[in-house]
Amino acid sequence: MPNAELSQQGRSVDDVIADLEAKRVDDVKWEDGRAFGMVYDGGPSVHEVAERAAKIYLHENALNTKAFPSLGAIQSEVVGWTAGLLHGDGAAGFLTSGGTESILCAVKAARERAKAERGIEAPEMIVAESAHAAFHKGAHLFGLRLHKTPVLDDWTVDVDAMASMVNDNTALIVGSAPQYPQGVMDPIPEIAALAASAGANCHVDACMGGFVLPFAERLGREMAPWDFRVEGVTSISADIHKLGYAPKGVSVILHRTKELRRYQTFVFDDWLGGFYASPNLQGTRSGLPMAAAWAVMQHLGVDGYVELTRQTLENADTMRAGVAEIDGIRVLGDGAFHLVAIASDPAADDPIDVFALGDALERRGWFHDRQGPPDSLHSTVSNSNTGVMDDYLAALRASVEEVRGTSTDDRSTNYATLE
């Protein structure tokens, strides 16, 4: 496909905006609660405060907070509030563009610490096959050898398998709270103890859970310890632009201490431009998502998040219960929070092809990501889905009947931006 050419003359504001609106016609209708992931809708007042903050900080640049001290204060306050939620007394960190960047920063920090404190020149990391793909990306970018271990029948990390991979070069061991594919909680205390015994970092990937679990705990949901209350946890990632209900893209990477945080930063002065330091992977950083996250967190407060989390968990519970009543499909794992993976039920008389099911749901306007193995439809349930779960389950039942006895040849599981 040949490259398009930029028009010689500019166009009116109204024409440009009209074209942008037209481009959205085939996008998922997240505003109607019909998407299970990608965008998280905290409601009209959350929209308003985020949009007003975004307009104020549309052009500001967090590359140099000496020029924009307000962004330095915003970052410090958002990081501090998040550390408080995760029981990180003394924890320190930075804002990033999203979960992938936070994870990459954790991998880089583990590598640098292993080299500085233990003299490791060929660092290694251990992750379960359920860990987010960003850890593999981090290993690739930063030159760590990655060991991938299987999960148990309940989809949680096999800590014994991890222990068998530990050696003198182990720099990082990873757990998830919860993991993305099936939404189950890894045994963080056991993983952290293993990492501590090896002198390695333990990173908890709470990109999905960081702004759910603290409030679920306040609602009385039972969960094993997973945050900085667990000895041996050295870093945690938590995405504000997921169930923190801030616009894309803003996440928090936290380290247990400022001493550990310094392994994340890059400092350099051997050029003609003077002292340069960057806390994460970006140089220039937009102030817009930082300010919007600050505004949303201040607007909601703990009570607001507790209420959004209550609705989210009720929505997810409703989905799990509805799936359990439909012959031919099942929920993978014993998830108790907001992530739901729907798969074929091999014990059923007539198992359903879930990818064909996903296509039928999409024709009815409901969007799920495909994933596997095993083949499943992934849902990140949120407050966005409040008020539509009965409609969704009706569509699910109708779609199951439509595809029963059929299958699709398309087995693709794209979770990507590719051309």
Using one digit for the tens of pLDDT, what is the confidence trace for 81-119? 999 999 999 999 999 999 999 999 999 999 999 999 999
- Confidence check: pLDDT of 201 > 90: yes
Residues in the chain: 419
Going by the DSSP 8-state scheme, the letter that residue 40 receives in this structure is -
Average pLDDT for the chain: 94
Domains of the chain: 49-299 (3.40.640.10), 301-403 (3.90.1150.10)
Tell me: cis bond preceding 351? Omega within 30 of 0 counts: no
Whole-angstrom CA distances from 103 to 121, 218, 417 are: 21, 27, 19
Q: Which residue from 413, 390, 9, 21 is spatially nearest to 181, judged by alpha carbons?
A: 413
Report d(CA 109, CA 103) in Å as an integer: 10
Read off the pLDDT of residues 287-297 as tens digits, 9 standing for 90 and up.
999 999 999 99
pLDDT for 216: 98
Read off the pLDDT of residues 212-265 as tens digits, 9 standing for 90 and up.
999 999 999 999 999 999 999 999 999 999 999 999 999 999 999 999 999 999
Q: Give exposure, 328-342, as e/b (b: 16+ Cβ within 10 Å).
A: bbbbbbebbbbbbbb
pLDDT band for position 298 (50/70/90)? very high
Range with the poorest average pLDDT among 63-67, 219-223, 300-304, 405-409: 63-67
Q: Which residue from 238, 264, 275, 279 is spatially nearest to 142, judged by alpha carbons?
A: 264
Read off the pLDDT of residues 10-40 as tens digits, 9 standing for 90 and up.
999 999 999 999 998 888 777 887 888 888 8
State pTM to two decimals.
0.94
